[in-house]
């Protein structure tokens, strides 16, 4: 297990190449008081990618790339997005074809509605955010810890050649359920099988935290810096 993430990520080689060839595009990390965007920025710095943390809808709207992270309550998070005009800025960035990566609550808010407070979300991708049902006593909610993900459907650039023996870090009480199962990139299991990642056009979203997932998470973020959506 220890060697596989290193083989998949080829971190040292990729970072060296990235520092030599990386263009000046800056990744905008959406700041809406939901989580710690600084941890995402540090992870991007580790792979040589310049970034800025911004609550400014104009910067999000016109960004080269966007990471939409988050933790916390869906209703509170949507209220801040709407107050700052970031909800519409994210929709416009998506419509412009800007590559966007949603992380955890950011992934959830990309869907249509959340069962957490019966919250209307951004609706960029049709789907629901479901609460975990009652599970056996040994399976805690929130689900916190390392889980393997299983790629499914057509291979996606962000998960290409992911080793079977992998682990990513999850912290969540609700899970992703896109309406179109064909957009699910990977699943995981915690009492039930749920979508761990999905993508539609220029938006990719993951329920886990790549910035907290060691070499595999850094490799995924590095792949995002080079991802050119084609569909």
Domain coordinates in residue numbering, the chain: 3-226
Q: Residue 117: how many CB atoms within 10 A of its CB?
A: 12
pLDDT of residue 6: 57
Tokens 């990618």, residue? 49
Per-residue pLDDT, averaged over 105-111, amounts to 98
Contacts of 150 (CB under 8 A, 6+ apart): 186, 187, 188
Stated as kind and residue range, the H or E segment containing 147 is strand 143-147
pLDDT of residue 25: 82
CB 178 within 8 A of CB 125: yes
- Model confidence at 8, in pLDDT bands (50, 70, 90)? low
Q: What pTM, to 2 d.p., does this model score?
A: 0.91
- Model confidence at 4, in pLDDT bands (50, 70, 90)? low
Active site members? 104, 209, 211
CA dist 166 and 66 (Å) reads 25
Stated as kind and residue range, the H or E segment containing 11 is helix 11-21
Contacts of 178 (CB under 8 A, 6+ apart): 111, 125, 126, 127, 184, 195, 198, 200
pLDDT digits (tens, 9 = 90+) for 51-73: 999 999 999 999 999 999 999 99
Give CATH for domain 3-226: 3.40.50.880
Percent of the chain with pLDDT over 90: 81
């Amino acid at each position: 297990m220890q060697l596989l993430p290193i083989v998949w990520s080829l971190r040292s080689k990729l970072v060296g190449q990235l520092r030599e060839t990386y263009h000046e595009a800056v990744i905008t990390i959406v700041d809406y008081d939901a989580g710690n965007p600084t941890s995402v920025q540090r992870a991007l710095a580790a792979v040589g990618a310049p970034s800025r943390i911004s609550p400014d809808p104009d910067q999000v709207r016109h960004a080269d790339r966007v990471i939409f992270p988050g933790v916390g309550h869906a209703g509170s998070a949507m209220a801040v997005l709407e107050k700052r005009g970031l909800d519409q800025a994210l929709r416009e960035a998506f419509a412009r074809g800007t590559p966007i990566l949603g992380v955890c609550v950011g992934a959830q808010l990309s869907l249509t509605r959340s069962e957490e407070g019966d919250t209307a979300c951004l609706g960029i991708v049709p789907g629901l955010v479901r609460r975990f049902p009652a599970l056996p006593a040994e399976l805690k909610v929130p689900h916190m810890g390392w889980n393997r993900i299983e790629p499914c459907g057509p291979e996606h650039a962000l998960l290409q050649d992911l080793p079977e023996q992998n682990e990513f870090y999850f912290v969540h009480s609700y899970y992703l359920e896109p309406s179109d199962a064909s957009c699910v990139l990977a699943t995981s299991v915690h009492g039930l099988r749920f979508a761990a990642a999905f993508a539609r056009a220029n938006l990719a979203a993951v329920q886990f935290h790549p910035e907290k997932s060691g070499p595999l998470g850094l490799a995924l973020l590095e792949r995002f810096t080079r991802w050119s959506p084609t569909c």
